[in-house]
């Protein structure tokens, strides 16, 4: 038995929870700001308070919030095409103003509602734009200061530890990582060139580092601990300092599971992986696929006809293109797409598709950017070869190489491949073994954490990817 100094709790769980809640906090702030700005604009223009909320007010607020989401302003620390969050907010507000004005003009509702006259909506949108920009600037400043104060402790080294240290420096350039490992020459050498990485000596120094403010502890080699060190880790855990295995910290911080840090023992005992044969989740997913695929086919059929016409006018060759891909349990199936390349583009054999592939036609480029080329795969979903959401189906020629180069690669075929997926919406276009390993990390996260809510999140992100031309 030992004494736990509970008074030393440092509230370190906030290091993870608050940044992850930032999009929710920004959304709440936007809703509050819209309510206030609409009230202010109504008072300035009409000299009286707004009398409740109705369909017009709610519709306008939903349109503004949708614009902010599609512009990815709820991740204020990221850039898209070189545009930071304030610039994306201005662009989103301009588009919302244009859509709102067009709807009012086309429907002939000008002056029929108190908010649809005298520029009340545009005034409120202008005031709200200032609010939203200030809110994002504050959020970025807070996230940066929060990251600069974070300090993580990694116990153990080895190849997996080195890979995690490199990922940490890539994803958290402002945080500090202290490594305790025995004779870790690689870590010591890396620490000489990275200011945010330091080598704290061997595992025997754990007691000294326990007195430092820590954001979390990452265990790279759990089998190297003595009984005393295990008790010290228990003390840290009970003081509120989160303790993670390498896969768990990657899953928590970055929403992915890199195969380079996985182990058989972790996979055997970890929770999740609910898409097992015969499970209720798998059956519900199939029913949803059938319903949504049928609806998509009905509503998108006119767009598919236009795509077919554009392909025929642009280049010689068939409209559709079929290719053998690897499906559930590594069984091959034939996938159907709109042809986006010139005919006989692969007469020299299978090749990785690149972002600016010279084999792609002019129409094919836009079909790929807007993902229209994927629409014939709806038939694959109806046939049961694919799901709407899942890992991207790969070609058997590439699978052979990727299985040899990437650990646990075959796990991606425990579920049906999908038209869109977690990897497709979070990772940009890739055409190499390294890119395949990165996408596998996101696929494994999806397979482990599958839920209806995760599928809904992917569906919304897919809309944004299509409109912004990101991911693949």
| Each residue's pLDDT tens digit, 221-278 | 877 788 898 999 999 888 888 899 999 999 988 899 999 889 888 888 888 887 766 6
Residues 55-90: b if buried by 16+ CB within 10 A, e if exposed: ebbeebbebbbebbbbbbbbebeeebeeebbbbbbe
The residue count for the chain:
472
On whether both 60 and 158 belong to a single domain, the answer is no
Q: How many CB atoms lie within 10 A of CB 112?
A: 11
Residue 8 lies in a domain: no
Residue 88 lies in a domain: yes
Report, in angstroms and rounded to the nearest whole number, the Rg of the chain calculated over CA atoms: 26
On whether both 30 and 121 belong to a single domain, the answer is yes
What's residue 8's pLDDT? 41
**244 φ, ψ (degrees, to nearest 5):** -130, 150
Helix (H, G, I), strand (E, B) or coil at 245: strand
Give 53's DSSP letter. -
Which residues constitute the domain of residue 57?
A: 14-147
What's residue 408's pLDDT? 93
What's residue 2's pLDDT? 46
On whether both 414 and 365 belong to a single domain, the answer is yes
Rounded Cα–Cα distance for residues 431 and 172 (Å)? 25
Q: How far is CA 410 from the centre of its chain?
A: 22
On whether both 128 and 110 belong to a single domain, the answer is yes
Residue 211 lies in a domain: yes
Residue ranges with strand state E in 298-356? 320-326, 332-338
What's residue 467's pLDDT? 78
Residue 274 lies in a domain: no
On whether both 329 and 411 belong to a single domain, the answer is yes
Residue 57 lies in a domain: yes
Residue 2 lies in a domain: no
Helix (H, G, I), strand (E, B) or coil at 82: coil
What's residue 381's pLDDT? 97
DSSP string, 249-311: HHHHHHS---GGG--HHHHHH-S-----TT-HHHHHHHHHHHHHHHHHHHHHHHHHHHHHHHH
Number of domains in the chain: 3
Give 394's DSSP letter. P
pLDDT-flagged residues of the chain (< 70): 1-19, 51-53, 81, 108-118, 183-185, 188, 276-278, 344-357, 429-430, 469-472
Domain boundary among 147, 180, 206: 147
Domain boundary among 254, 272, 288: 254
What's residue 114's pLDDT? 65
On whether both 137 and 229 belong to a single domain, the answer is no
Question: Considering the entire predicted model, what is its pTM?
Answer: 0.84
On whether both 161 and 82 belong to a single domain, the answer is no
Residue 100 lies in a domain: yes
Token pair, residue 410, equals 């075959």
HSE (side-chain half, CA atoms, 13 Å) at 144:
9
Q: How many CB atoms lie within 10 A of CB 128?
A: 26
What's residue 349's pLDDT? 55
On whether both 329 and 423 belong to a single domain, the answer is yes
On whether both 228 and 311 belong to a single domain, the answer is no
């Amino acid at each position: 038995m030992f004494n736990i100094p509970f008074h030393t709790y440092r509230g370190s769980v906030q290091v993870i929870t608050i940044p992850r809640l930032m999009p929710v906090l920004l959304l709440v702030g936007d809703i509050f700001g819209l309510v206030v700005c609409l009230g202010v604009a109504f008072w300035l223009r009409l000299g009286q308070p707004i009398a409740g909320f109705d369909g017009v007010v709610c519709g306008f607020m939903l349109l503004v919030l949708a614009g902010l989401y599609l512009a990815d302003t709820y991740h204020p620390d990221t850039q898209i095409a070189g545009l930071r969050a304030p610039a994306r907010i201005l662009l989103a507000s301009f588009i919302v103003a244009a859509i709102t004005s067009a709807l009012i003009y086309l429907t002939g509702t000008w002056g029929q509602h108190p908010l649809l006259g005298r520029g009340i909506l545009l005034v409120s949108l202008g005031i709200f734009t200032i609010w939203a920009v200030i809110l994002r600037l504050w959020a970025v400043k807070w996230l940066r200061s929060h990251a600069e104060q974070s300090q993580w402790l990694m116990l153990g080294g080895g190849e997996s530890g080195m890979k995690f240290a490199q990922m940490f420096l890539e994803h958290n350039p402002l945080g500090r990582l202290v490594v305790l490992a025995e004779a870790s020459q690689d870590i010591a050498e890396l620490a000489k060139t990275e200011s945010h990485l330091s080598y704290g000596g061997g595992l025997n120094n754990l007691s000294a580092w326990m007195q430092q403010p820590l954001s979390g502890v990452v265990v790279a080699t759990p089998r190297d601990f003595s009984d005393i060190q295990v008790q010290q880790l228990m003390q840290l855990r009970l003081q509120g300092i989160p303790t993670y295995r390498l896969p768990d910290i990657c899953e928590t911080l970055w929403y992915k599971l890199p195969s380079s840090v996985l182990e058989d023992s972790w996979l055997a005992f970890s929770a999740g992986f609910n898409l097992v044969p015969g499970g209720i989740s798998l059956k519900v997913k199939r029913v949803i696929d059938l319903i949504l695929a049928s609806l998509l086919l009905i509503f998108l059929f006119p767009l598919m006809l236009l795509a077919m016409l554009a392909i025929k006018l642009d280049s010689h060759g068939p409209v559709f293109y079929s290719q053998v891909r690897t499906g559930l349990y590594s069984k091959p199936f034939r996938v159907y797409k709109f042809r986006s390349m010139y005919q006989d583009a692969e007469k020299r054999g299978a090749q990785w598709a690149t972002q600016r592939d010279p084999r792609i036609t002019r129409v094919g480029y836009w079909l790929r950017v807007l993902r229209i080329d994927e629409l014939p795969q709806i038939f694959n979903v109806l046939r049961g070869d694919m799901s709407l959401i899942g890992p991207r189906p790969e070609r058997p020629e590439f699978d052979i190489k990727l299985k040899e180069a990437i650990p646990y690669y075959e796990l991606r075929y425990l579920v049906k491949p999908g038209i869109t997926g977690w990897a497709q919406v979070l990772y940009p276009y890739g055409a190499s073994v390294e890119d395949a390993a990165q996408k596998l990390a996101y696929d494994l996260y999806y397979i482990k954490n599958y839920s209806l809510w995760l599928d809904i999140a992917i569906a919304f992100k897919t809309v944004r990817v299509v409109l912004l031309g990101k991911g693949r």
